[in-house]
């Protein structure tokens, strides 16, 4: 009751912020995968951002997906425009990276493990004065199970409240913000996986990934906790690793 009263007073005073999370993944959910990334963007102005992305489509008559895996020499400039648009908006980059030394999918249904990863990502990206909504690329679940419900329960259970008011699975093919989330996840994974000379589309992908980092004021997409970039590698129990922690949002406050 006391927690709800505090939330009510904060809401009346105008101090509560209402961000949205847009989350996708990159990589394979199996023990052989060297890198699996759950990542996306956090924004308080999703509709403005959607309209701005649509302007890129209109300007270039581009009807395909903004997917990192589909970057080629022809569409790379459009991807860079999207990156710059994200950087010029209020968007924050958030990500959890699973390396080869930890397999959160072992002994769990894939959808349950992914729901847990998404929940932890949101928990580590929420500030105390925020009440949020989450939108995720849909994945296969049993008929009587919902990814959104599992994520909402995971977040609110960990935070012992109701800071996540809704969590919804969508089809990324029809949503540009989820495609932007895919671009973020793919860029992070690409930098983690690149360990030799690049050729062909790999060069274009590297350019987009590098642009994403520099546009957000960082030298790369490694683990970090900055004003607008929050990336952490997930570790197994008993191993050291950086934990995602909320980053106080002192910019783009409107």
List pLDDT tens digits, range 154-192: 999 999 999 999 999 999 999 999 999 999 999 999 999
Q: State the Cα–Cα distance between residues 189 and 241, nearest whole angstrom.
A: 18
Long-range contacts of 216-220 (CB under 8 A, 24+ apart): 216/86, 216/87, 216/93, 220/191
Q: Please tell me what DSSP assigns to residue 69.
A: G
- pLDDT, residue 222, reads 96
**What torsion, rounded to 10 degrees, do the Cα atoms 137, 172, 253, 209 define?**
100
Buried b or exposed e, range 125-142, using 16+ CB within 10 angstroms: bbeeebbbbbbbbeeebe
List the structure tokens of 104. Answer: 């959160």
Q: Are 15 and 129 in contact (CB under 8 A)?
A: yes
Q: Are 215 and 207 in contact (CB under 8 A)?
A: no
Name the average pLDDT for the chain. 87
Better pLDDT: 104 or 96: 96
List the structure tokens of 145. Answer: 């199970």
- Non-local (6+) Cβ contacts of 110 within 8 A are 29, 139, 140
Q: Which of 136-145, 192-201, 222-231 shows the lowest per-residue confidence on average (mean pLDDT)? A: 192-201
7 pLDDT above the threshold of 60: no
- pLDDT, residue 54, reads 98
What is the model's pTM? 0.87
CATH fold group of domain 22-234: Nucleotidyltransferase; domain 5 (3.30.420)
Q: What is the pairing mode between strands 92-98 and 36-43? A: antiparallel
Q: State the Cα–Cα distance between residues 223 and 49, nearest whole angstrom.
A: 26
124 pLDDT above the threshold of 60: yes
Q: Are 183 and 204 in contact (CB under 8 A)?
A: no
Q: Where are the beta strands (DSSP E) in 172-254?
A: 224-225, 229-234
Q: Which residue has the tokens 């989820």?
A: 178
- pLDDT, residue 251, reads 47
- pLDDT, residue 6, reads 39
Better pLDDT: 247 or 110: 110
Domain spans, the chain: 22-234
Give the Cα-Cα-Cα angle 147, 231, 44 (nearest 5 degrees): 65
Q: What is the pairing mode between strands 164-170 and 224-225? A: unpaired
């Amino acid at each position: 009751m006391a927690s709800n009263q505090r939330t009510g007073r904060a809401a009346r005073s105008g101090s509560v912020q209402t961000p949205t999370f847009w989350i996708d993944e990159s990589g394979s959910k199996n023990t052989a995968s060297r890198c699996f990334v759950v990542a996306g963007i956090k924004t308080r102005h999703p509709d403005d951002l959607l309209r701005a992305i649509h302007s890129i489509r209109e300007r270039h008559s581009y009807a395909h997906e903004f997917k990192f895996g589909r970057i080629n020499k022809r569409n790379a400039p459009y991807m860079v425009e999207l990156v710059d648009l994200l950087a010029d908006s209020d968007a924050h980059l958030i990500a959890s990276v699973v390396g080869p030394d930890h397999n959160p999918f072992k002994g769990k249904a894939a959808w349950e493990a992914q729901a847990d990863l998404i929940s932890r990502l949101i928990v580590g990206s929420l500030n105390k004065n925020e009440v949020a909504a989450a939108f995720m690329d849909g994945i296969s679940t049993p008929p009587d199970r919902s990814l959104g419900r599992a994520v909402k329960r995971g977040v609110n259970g960990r935070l012992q409240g109701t800071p996540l008011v809704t969590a919804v699975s969508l089809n990324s093919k029809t949503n540009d913000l989820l495609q932007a989330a895919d671009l973020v996840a793919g860029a992070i994974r690409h930098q983690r996986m690149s360990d030799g000379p690049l050729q062909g589309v790999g060069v274009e992908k590297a350019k987009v990934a590098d642009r994403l980092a520099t546009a957000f004021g960082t030298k790369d997409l490694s683990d970090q906790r900055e004003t607008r970039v929050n990336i952490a590698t997930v570790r197994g129990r008993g191993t050291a690793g950086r934990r995602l922690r909320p980053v106080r949002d002192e910019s783009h406050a409107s």
